[in-house]
Amino acid sequence: MAFIIFLLGITLTSHAQEVLVGDGEFGKPSKTSADSLKIPKVGPNRTHYFDLIVPIEKNFGTSGKGIQISWWNSFNIGASIRYKLKLNGLLDVGADAGYKYCKYGYNTSKAQAFPDVDLYGLALTHSWQKLGFHTAPVSAFVRINFNPKRGDIVGNYLALGITSSYILGSDYVVTDKGVSGTKQKIKTTSLPYFNSTTTNVFAQLRFTKLITFVGSYRFTDYLKPQYSAAELPRYSAGLILNLSDGF
């Protein structure tokens, strides 16, 4: 009886090993088993990776003649799809494409000449005023990873890149106090003062989960040559939220 149990045990063990090794002809690995051993090509530290990013930045720097921008009331916010191609453990390249709204709030403590002089014939003081741009940015970057042997995670890195943004539309909005405590809001769109594209360079630094720090410099003008004296601030800095980053 003990001998029969012993043989039965050997038979079951052999069958289990055969299933694990392969169920094809002559014990060759089956197609299903071979597929399960393939390394995925899509992932945070694989050959390809897609990510949804949300940049939130403050605009600052020197304003041009006839316009004074308030940095605390000036910002960019948007959303983009990012594609990353892994070259090796140290280097990646990639591209972003999406939408970004860029706002420049005015310092309303005194009258601002641009664009009021052109629109209304004189510089006016408003309760609130801002310039806004709806843009479609496309970026390309190279990424230097700090830990080449990090496993299948995004990890920490320094990225350097360039962005070209197409201006989809612009608006100038002012708010003034009326009689009896009322407010009057005027919105002017399709402003003729601006170029159709802008270009900036950027650096991104990631050393925390979810958040990447970003700084940017715009080296082309928003304004056409005949209005360039009133150029807007060129610097921005802030955070990028990596919403599907894999950490």
Q: Are residues 25 and 147 in the same domain?
A: no
**Is residue 15 situated within a structural domain?**
yes
**What is the Cα–Cα distance from 108 to 85, expressed in whole angstroms?**
46
The total number of structural domains that make up the chain: 2
CB atoms within 10 A of CB 204: 20
The per-residue pLDDT of the chain, averaged, comes to 86
For 117-176, write each residue's pLDDT tens digit: 999 899 989 999 999 999 999 999 999 999 998 888 999 999 999 999 999 999 999 999
Question: Are 176 and 190 contained in the same domain?
Answer: yes
Residues of the chain above pLDDT 90, percent: 68
198-210 average pLDDT score: 94
pTM of the model: 0.81
Mean pLDDT of 103-122: 92
The verdict on residue 52 lying in a domain is: yes
Least confident of 27-31, 37-41, 168-172: 27-31
Same domain, 9 and 108: no
| 191 and 225 co-located in one domain | yes
Closest CA to 202 of 215, 218, 221, 220: 215
Query: Is the same domain home to 169 and 208?
Result: yes
Domain hosting residue 96, numbered range: 40-242
Q: Which is more confident, 37 or 153?
A: 153
